[in-house]
Amino acid sequence: MVILLTNDDGIFAAGLYALYHQFEAEHKVYVVAPESEQSAVGHALTLSNPLRVKEVYRNGNFYGWAVSGTPADAVKIAVNELLPTRPDLVISGINLGPNVGINVLYSGTVSAATEAAILGIPAVAVSLDTYTNPDYKPAAEFIYKLAPKVSKLNLPPGVCLNINIPALPLEQIKGVALTRQATVPLKDKFEKRVDPRQRVYYWEAEDGFQGQPEPGTDMYALKEGKISITPIHHDLTHYPTLEMLAEKYILF
Amino acid sequence: MVILLTNDDGIFAAGLYALYHQFEAEHKVYVVAPESEQSAVGHALTLSNPLRVKEVYRNGNFYGWAVSGTPADAVKIAVNELLPTRPDLVISGINLGPNVGINVLYSGTVSAATEAAILGIPAVAVSLDTYTNPDYKPAAEFIYKLAPKVSKLNLPPGVCLNINIPALPLEQIKGVALTRQATVPLKDKFEKRVDPRQRVYYWEAEDGFQGQPEPGTDMYALKEGKISITPIHHDLTHYPTLEMLAEKYILF
């Protein structure tokens, strides 16, 4: 297969390299990723600034292209400009930290997969459920086994898979769950501080989620020690409300 | 009503002021918006940098708070830190240019409304279908009439309205359509250029959409000269695929 790897932690991230290392012997692998960390950029594009592209070498060998933009930029420019051929699969990750629940919306990792899906290419976003001492190998092995199956799933146009993997050895993982995105709200918090020049500033300092995730959701699966796979898409229409409003025809 | 106004064109944008001007006599209006233009930032958050907040005056009077972040940051910090009371309604806009079809995903204007909906506050995103010589007055008047009705719609938790308005006098607008988000792909294009130091750079230079929008979509409504109202939400799960995959139980 021809595989495009990208991420939002930046081209030098260990999670991206774990995928590269896993796939490169058996597949044609291209790496196109942001040159710097782009976490929580959501589905941003760089329109007001030019994009720069740099060749990146690793141990003296060509590794890939670093893009001065977001994950969605990286996928767009990879497919439209940089790659000599259209990839069969785009893998975004392995992200350091989970991308579940409402955080999916803020996730650069997921937006790269969504962008690939928009471009009509099978895609998965992969995240590891830990922020510390990550061992990416089990997750990379799981994705390696999954990869050839993704194109056979015949996902509808625009749909990709958001995969979250417990930070455990494969034999300790309790299975694979097909899930929906949890919608429990975050505990929003801002820390107000004063800088050395006596000016106020704020840190966004979310502290987890309010309440417990429901069974069937991505968050619940991780809590149970399972890999969660959520099919996601980019049509934000809320169809039940559309029907409800159409019935009422509001008040215009 | 207590109304929070925000946008992605920046706190000094004329579209935001048009809403302020329309609402401020009859309602308690707060303005919290990015200090600079934040178009195509999608649903980004500022986590790696502190947020600064500045008081902004207009004609000698306090106008609002400028936030050194994205539209989603502005809504979060407004509701959690800056406003003395919880708003009854968040209005994001009026954006210079439409936010329809796939572009909804990249839209800072829409992400501000989505963020408000996540926080449990009724919200609308408003965009004007022109990039040149905008007259925001008709759109502001329409939103002014709509505003008191939004909370009565009893939108489900997490659902907000994405509203796009033709750049026409109200009497020339052909009506209001309840729509879904169009999914026709963009014509992606990158312009490759050489800078004065002989280094290559790229501009993202999308040139509209591939093909025609279907009836029932936001894009189609605008083309017909109608205001489009699309209920949107932030659960990206593609439920039909979830069922399909669950039936197959893939190949694990």
Domain ranges across chain A:
2-182+211-248
Q: Is B39 helix (H, G, I), strand (E, B) or coil?
A: coil
Q: Look at residue B247 in the predicted model and tell me its pLDDT.
A: 67
**Radius of gyration (C-alpha) of chain B in whole angstroms:** 19
**pLDDT tens, B38-54?**
888 888 888 888 999 99
A132: Cβ contacts below 8 Å, ≥ 6 apart: none
Average pLDDT on A119-137 reads 97
**CA–CA dist A32, A5 (Å, integer):** 6
DSSP A174: -
Given the structure tokens 């139980």, which residue do they identify? B249
From chain A, pick out residues whose CB is under 8 angstroms from the CB of B8: none
Q: Is A52 exposed, middle or buried (0-12, 13-18, 19+ CB in 10 A)?
A: middle
* CATH architecture for the domain at A2-182+211-248: 3-Layer(aba) Sandwich (3.40)
From chain A, pick out residues whose CB is under 8 angstroms from the CB of B153: 245, 248, 250
Q: Which of B32, B235, B238, B239 is nearest to B114 (CA)?
A: B235
**pLDDT tens, A21-67?**
999 999 999 999 999 988 888 888 888 889 999 999 999 999 999 99
Are residues A107 and A97 in contact, defined by beta-carbon separation less than 8 angstroms? no
Q: Which of B13, B4, B61, B3 is nearest to B35 (CA)?
A: B13
Given the structure tokens 């500033």, which residue do they identify? A201
From the CB of residue A194, how many other CB atoms can be counted at a distance below 10 Å? 9
Q: Would you say domain B2-184+210-248 falls under CATH 3.40.50.720?
A: no
**pLDDT tens, B62-87?**
999 999 999 999 999 999 999 999 99
ipTM score of complex: 0.91
Q: Look at residue B250 in the predicted model and tell me its pLDDT.
A: 55
B231 and A252: CB-CB below 8 Å? no
pLDDT band for A238, please (50, 70, 90 cuts): very high
B84: Cβ contacts below 8 Å, ≥ 6 apart: none
B157: Cβ contacts below 8 Å, ≥ 6 apart: A183, B117, B120
**CA–CA dist B139, B123 (Å, integer):** 16
Q: Look at residue B40 in the predicted model and tell me its pLDDT.
A: 80
Q: Look at residue A138 in the predicted model and tell me its pLDDT.
A: 97
Question: Rounded to the nearest 5°, which phi and psi values hold at A79?
Answer: -70, -40
Smallest Cβ distance to B238: which of A41, A193, A233?
Answer: A233
Q: Which of B216, B139, B140 is nearest to B178 (CA)?
A: B216
From chain B, pick out residues whose CB is under 8 angstroms from the CB of A230: 236-237, 242
* Pair of tokens at residue B232: 């949107």
For the cut 90, the answer to whether the pLDDT of residue A97 exceeds it is yes
Q: Look at residue A30 in the predicted model and tell me its pLDDT.
A: 98
Q: Look at residue B248 in the predicted model and tell me its pLDDT.
A: 65
**pLDDT tens, B19-28?**
999 999 999 9
- For chain B positions 102-161, those within 8 Å of chain A (CB to CB) are 102, 104-106, 110-111, 114, 118-120, 149, 152-153, 155-159
Q: Comparing A140-144, A183-187, B214-218, which segment has the lowest mean pLDDT?
A: A183-187
Given the structure tokens 């297969």, which residue do they identify? A1
Cα B145 to its chain centre, rounded Å, is: 19
Average pLDDT on A133-144 reads 97
Residue-wise burial string across B16-46, b where 16 or more C-beta atoms lie within 10 A, e elsewhere? bbbbbebbeeebebbbbbbbebbbbbbbbbb
From chain B, pick out residues whose CB is under 8 angstroms from the CB of A45: 40, 42, 106, 204
pLDDT band for A154, please (50, 70, 90 cuts): confident
Smallest Cβ distance to B153: which of A192, A200, A250?
Answer: A250
Interface residue B230 vs chain A (CB under 8 A): yes
Q: How far B104 CA sits from the closest chain A CA (Å)?
A: 8
Q: Is B241 exposed, middle or buried (0-12, 13-18, 19+ CB in 10 A)?
A: buried
